[in-house]
Amino acid sequence: MAIREIKHYEKDDVLRKKARPVDKIDNRILLLLDDMAETMYNAEGVGLAAPQVGVLRRIVVIDIGEGIIELINPEIVEEQGEQADMEGCLSIPGITGLVKRPARVKIVGLNRYGEKVELEGEDLLARALCHEIDHLDGVLYIDRVEPGTLRRIDQETENRG
């Protein structure tokens, strides 16, 4: 395993590109999953999407403190309700802003064994899932931020992905 470089949104336009689905889960993909988890934990983030380490494939990892979630080709199939909270991003260091997200989401995707998984998340997990899946389409939270709420942070303690 290895820690990969997290791309900065102003320095690398890979973060604005649409990622391609994974058609075959080979050793490169498994290594990428391992590296993404290590990179996320090293950066103390709650989630990481493959484009953030420069790989345009539809893969995310999330850990909101309840264990690692790995998703390949994730899709949001249901959204319910609304929540608003401060959000940050490992690729946009030093700032945070208020973003509205669904209160609950249902996701389908594949695990590392190629098995179909269905996952329901609420609160922070719903937020993290939406944030990371946005990354796969080149969408950043600053595109969705409530006007006037972006602010600098000295200590990066927000929920970052």
Residue 19 near Zn ion by CB under 5 A: no
Question: Out of 74, 97, 121, 161, which residue is the one contacting Zn ion (CB under 5 A)?
Answer: 161
Stretch that binds Zn ion, among 35-43, 58-66, 81-89, 122-130 (CB under 5 A): 81-89
Using CB atoms, what's the residue nearest to Zn ion? 89
Which positions from 118 to 147 touch Zn ion by CB under 5 A, shown as an x/- string? ------------------------------
Q: How far is the CB of 149 from Zn ion (least distance, A)?
A: 17
Q: How far apart are CA 54 and CA 143, in angstroms?
A: 20
Stretch that binds Zn ion, among 24-32, 59-67, 99-107, 153-161 (CB under 5 A): 153-161
Q: Report the alpha-carbon angle 128-81-69, nearest 5.
A: 25
Would you please indicate which residues are annotated as catalytic (active-site) residues?
132
Q: How far apart are CA 104 and CA 122, in angstroms?
A: 4
25 vs 85 by CB, closer to Zn ion: 85
Task: For CA atoms 54, 62, 96, 137, give the dihedral sign.
Answer: positive
Stretch that binds Zn ion, among 11-19, 33-41, 84-92, 110-118 (CB under 5 A): 84-92
109 vs 161 by CB, closer to Zn ion: 161
Question: Out of 22, 89, 99, 128, which residue is the one contacting Zn ion (CB under 5 A)?
Answer: 89
Residue 102 near Zn ion by CB under 5 A: no
What percent of the chain is helix, strand and coil (3-state, nearest 5)? 25, 35, 40
| Pair of tokens at residue 54 | 């420069």
Specify whether the CB–CB gap between 76 and 133 falls below 8 A. yes
- Rounded to whole angstroms, the maximal C-alpha distance in the chain is 44
Q: How far apart are CA 153 and CA 62, in angstroms?
A: 22
Q: Which residues bind to Zn ion, rule: CB under 5 A?
A: 89, 161
